[in-house]
């Protein structure tokens, strides 16, 4: 028996190695012009562990990804067949236990393919049986020769009902079709030999008379695939309204384990598949059964919960084995950085492998040794802020993973990390002060070093000055009979309002859809940009392009310097945004105290003279739907500005450098996989650092570029 499992593991390794050998290498080297990259580029994916080496994942595309290095290779065959090999397409729905076959879903099609070659074996399309059924309800037998999925009930007329379908992959024919108790199915689960099917459903409206006994949203049904007959209905398996429902077959298909991973009861139940009779239950800790797995010999059952702790029990007596906590070195106290288990499997009869998704990264750890196979050198989510500190000797980065990291600017070596502790864990700090001492989320000022919330500036769409001495935002006129929109100036040191002035109609407080404010480098000027809602009061007649009202102001006096109305926000609805309404228009004010650069959500990059109220030329415009220019930022001497930009279809994102005020393109740096979300120049102007939604930070060398200028 041991030799058979050893051969099974080696076979999986052979399949994965063969796939790597045949695949096209897409790993990117350090981009040209970059001094170093901080972190490993990673984009969201829905992956399945492929081999017991605990490092190779089959991910969307389909692609093979090394979880330790991020290196990605494309599974061959898909490009030749006219299918897109993209991390955003072709979600991996199931992988066979022998590692040879997988199922991908794209454009309402389930495709069974051979992993090593990419060869399509079976395609099931909506016109056949699927008809928009949930892709998540898909499973394969251990050898990949039988597939189960959900399909709409052909007889249902008024209410949408689903059937579970079992299909022979080799013969391309239906083996069984059984009705589900409810209209929201959870994954159908095949036994390893493909001869038994388990189905269970979620809480929704009833599907016919089967709603009375048993209760559909708490029951599991077992079916004989060969006859299509119901073996047994297991009543009250799951807690009412609880999520995280899990069903797992033992390797011999004779035992079924069930758990409700989001239940405080902590109960794992075992069932005899042939009779549907319950066996002795296993008492687990609350919320522990998020995922279940049997060892290859069926003598051990493992469970993992949201916290990452792995529990094991010896079967059949249910004796508890030593618990393996999640590796302490990777723990972060904030909810935003808590992992969510994605998979649990035995590599052999002793070793359990678990993996989760932390932001855009996958972490893998094992029991019983408690070792972490992957490391997180950088951020796990979008990088929101980058700044230089200690006179340019250090680099500080802020991520939406609620961490602030410090790096040696000369070498890229990580110096330390600080957890961001917000009372509301789903807030995101969106501005980072020079040196990284402070950060802001809307009006909330946060002390990074003390890990403490300080106070909130009581206005909307707040932006701080570059030196974090001042902040400006929008509020209602103090005259409560008026709905006029005001711009307010606040001193962040004294916590006092310095000034307030009304913005001219037609923009009013209760009509704001998009707003942004930015300071000049010397804090003497302020530029505001406001777009009213289409349904707001005093809104002009509907136009093809929305209106953006821009004005320049003297900070001390509140005197308006100039204003202009720009038809520059067309295509706002549905376009890409960084997540906050003020990011729909981003502003960088030049040091000459007359001009500014605007990046708007219609994909345009343009300038304006806010002192004279004149719109300048459009510097550039992207025609890539949903993509835009981001984060315009001026150099310390004010002679150059940088901006994030799409690099071209399939080429990721770039950082572009322009001269000021001539706005001539000086250079383009290409190397990010995700949109640019933060930019900063070093104090001496020799380096430029860019943060991205791909979770990485790249430091660019500007010395040769500035000389050429």
Whether 289 and 259 have beta carbons less than 8 Å apart is answered as yes
Distance from chain centroid for Cα 570: 27
Domains of the chain and CATH, by start = 1-128 (no CATH), 457-574+590-618 (2.40.128)
Q: Name beta bridge partners: 596.
A: 589, 608
| pLDDT the model gives residue 154 | 55
The DSSP output letter for 647 is -
Residue 173 in tokens? 């024919």
Share of the chain above pLDDT 70, in %: 76
- Per-residue pLDDT for 269 more than 80? yes
For residue range 643-686, list pLDDT tens digits in order.
Answer: 999 987 667 899 999 999 999 999 999 999 889 999 999 999 99
Distances, alpha carbon 249 to alpha carbons 70, 195, 255, 690, in Å: 32, 11, 6, 48
| Residue, of 211 and 160, whose pLDDT is higher | 160
**What value does the mean pLDDT take over residues 333-340?**
49
Distances, alpha carbon 372 to alpha carbons 121, 362, 363, 415, 666, in Å: 36, 11, 8, 21, 44
Give just the sign of the alpha carbon dihedral 432, 438, 441, 445. negative
* Helix extents (H) in 552-638: none
For residue range 372-406, list pLDDT tens digits in order.
Answer: 877 667 888 889 999 999 999 999 999 988 889 99
For residue range 102-116, list pLDDT tens digits in order.
Answer: 888 766 677 888 988
DSSP string, 440-491: EETTEEEETTTTEEEEE-SSEEEEE-TTSSEEEEEEE-SSTT--BEEEEEEE
Grade residue 40 by pLDDT with cuts at 50, 70 and 90: confident
Grade residue 538 by pLDDT with cuts at 50, 70 and 90: very low
| pLDDT the model gives residue 111 | 84
Q: What is the dihedral of CA 201, 207, 212, 213, to 10 degrees?
A: -50
For residue range 277-326, list pLDDT tens digits in order.
Answer: 999 999 888 878 889 999 999 999 999 987 788 999 999 999 999 999 88
For residue range 138-186, list pLDDT tens digits in order.
Answer: 899 999 999 998 877 555 545 567 788 899 999 999 999 988 887 666 7
Which of 155-164, 249-258, 569-578 bottoms out in mean pLDDT, i.e. has the lowest? Answer: 569-578
The structure's pTM equals 0.75
Cβ neighbours of residue 392 closer than 8 Å, sequence gap 6 or more = 409, 682, 683, 684, 687
| pLDDT the model gives residue 175 | 94
| pLDDT the model gives residue 19 | 37
Place of tokens 């490391």: 375
Listed in order, strand segments (DSSP E) in 67-219 are 72-74, 91-95, 101-105, 110-114, 120-124, 139-140, 146-152, 162-168, 173-179, 189-190, 196-200
Whether 605 and 619 have beta carbons less than 8 Å apart is answered as yes
Give the integer Cα–Cα distance in Å for 195 and 223. 9
Place of tokens 């469970």: 303
Q: How many CB atoms lie within 10 A of CB 705?
A: 17
Task: Reduce the secondary structure of 83-107 to three states and give it as a string.
Answer: CCCCCCCCEEEEECCCCCEEEEECC
What is the side-by-side strand order in the sheet with 560-567? 512-519, 525-532, 547-554, 560-567
Q: How many CB atoms lie within 10 A of CB 172?
A: 13
| pLDDT the model gives residue 615 | 94
| Residue, of 119 and 676, whose pLDDT is higher | 676
Which of 46-60, 109-123, 484-498, 527-541 bottoms out in mean pLDDT, i.e. has the lowest? Answer: 527-541
Give the integer Cα–Cα distance in Å for 667 and 645. 12
């Amino acid at each position: 028996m041991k030799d058979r499992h050893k051969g099974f593991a080696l076979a999986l390794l052979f399949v994965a190695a063969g796939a790597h050998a045949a695949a096209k290498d897409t790993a990117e080297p350090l981009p040209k012009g970059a001094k170093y990259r901080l972190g490993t580029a990673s984009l969201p994916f829905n992956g399945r562990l492929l081999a017991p080496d605990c490092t190779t994942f089959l991910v969307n595309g389909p692609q093979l990804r090394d979880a330790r290095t991020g290196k990605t290779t494309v599974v061959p065959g898909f490009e030749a067949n006219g299918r897109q090999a993209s991390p955003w397409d072709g979600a991996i729905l199931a992988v066979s236990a022998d590692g040879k076959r997988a199922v991908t879903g794209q454009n309402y099609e389930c495709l069974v393919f051979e992993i090593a070659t990419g060869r399509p074996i079976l395609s099931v399309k909506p016109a056949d049986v699927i008809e928009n059924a949930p892709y998540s309800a898909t499973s394969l037998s251990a050898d990949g020769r039988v597939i189960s999925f959900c399909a709409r009930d052909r007889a249902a007329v008024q209410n949408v009902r689903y059937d579970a379908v079992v299909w022979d992959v080799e013969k391309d024919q239906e083996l069984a079709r059984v009705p589900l108790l409810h209209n929201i199915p959870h994954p159908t689960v095949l036994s390893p030999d493909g001869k038994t099917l388990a189905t269970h459903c979620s809480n929704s409206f009833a599907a016919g008379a089967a709603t009375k006994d048993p209760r559909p949203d708490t029951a599991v049904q077992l079916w004989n695939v060969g006859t299509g007959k119901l073996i047994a209905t297991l009543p009250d398996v799951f807690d009412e309204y609880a999520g995280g429902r899990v069903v797992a077959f033992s390797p011999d298909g004779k035992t079924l384990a069930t758990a409700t991973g989001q239940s405080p009861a902590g109960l794992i139940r075992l069932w005899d598949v042939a009779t549907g009779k319950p066996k002795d239950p296993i008492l687990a800790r609350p919320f522990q059964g998020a995922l279940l797995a049997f060892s290859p010999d069926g003598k051990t059952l493992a469970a993992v919960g949201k916290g990452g702790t792995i529990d094991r029990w010896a079967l059949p007596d249910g004796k508890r084995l030593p618990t393996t906590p999640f590796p302490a070195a990777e723990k972060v106290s904030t909810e935003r950085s808590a992992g969510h288990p994605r998979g649990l499997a035995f590599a052999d009869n002793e070793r359990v492998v678990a993996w989760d998704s932390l932001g855009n990264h996958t972490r893998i750890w094992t029991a019983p040794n408690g070792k972490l196979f992957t490391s997180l050198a950088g951020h796990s989510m979008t990088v929101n802020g980058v700044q230089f500190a200690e006179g340019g000797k250090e680099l500080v980065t802020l991520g939406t993973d609620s961490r602030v990291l410090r790096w040696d600017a000369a070498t890229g070596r990580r110096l330390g990390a600080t957890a961001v502790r917000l009372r509301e864990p789903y807030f995101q700090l969106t501005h980072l002060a020079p040196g990284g001492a402070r950060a802001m989320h809307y009006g909330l000022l946060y002390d990074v070093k003390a890990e403490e919330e300080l106070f909130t500036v009581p206005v909307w769409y707040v932006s701080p000055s570059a030196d974090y001495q001042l902040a400006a935002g929008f509020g209602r006129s103090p005259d409560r009979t008026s709905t006029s929109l005001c711009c307010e100036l606040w001193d962040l040191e004294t916590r006092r309002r310095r000034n307030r002035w009304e913005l001219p109609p037609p923009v009013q407080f209760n009509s704001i859809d998009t707003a942004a404010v930015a300071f000049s480098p010397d804090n003497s000027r302020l530029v505001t940009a406001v777009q009213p809602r289409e349904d707001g009061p005093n809104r002009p007649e509907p136009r093809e392009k929305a209106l953006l009202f821009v004005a320049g102001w003297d900070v001390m006096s509140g005197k308006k310097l100039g204003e202009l109305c720009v038809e520059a926000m067309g295509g706002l609805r549905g376009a890409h945004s960084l997540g906050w309404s003020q990011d729909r228009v981003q502003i960088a004010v030049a040091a000459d105290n007359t001009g500014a650069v605007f990046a708007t959500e219609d994909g345009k990059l343009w300038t304006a003279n806010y002192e004279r109220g004149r719109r300048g030329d459009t510097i550039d415009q992207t025609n890539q739907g949903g993509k835009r220019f981001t984060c315009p930022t001026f150099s310390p001497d004010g002679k150059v500005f940088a901006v994030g930009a799409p690099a071209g279809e399939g080429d990721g994102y770039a950082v572009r450098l322009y001269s000021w005020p001539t706005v001539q393109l000086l250079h383009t740096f290409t190397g990010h996989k995700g949109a640019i979300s933060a930019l900063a120049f070093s104090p001496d102007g020799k380096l430029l650092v860019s943060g991205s939604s791909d979770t990485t930070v790249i430091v660019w060398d500007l010395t040769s570029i500035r000389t050429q200028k």
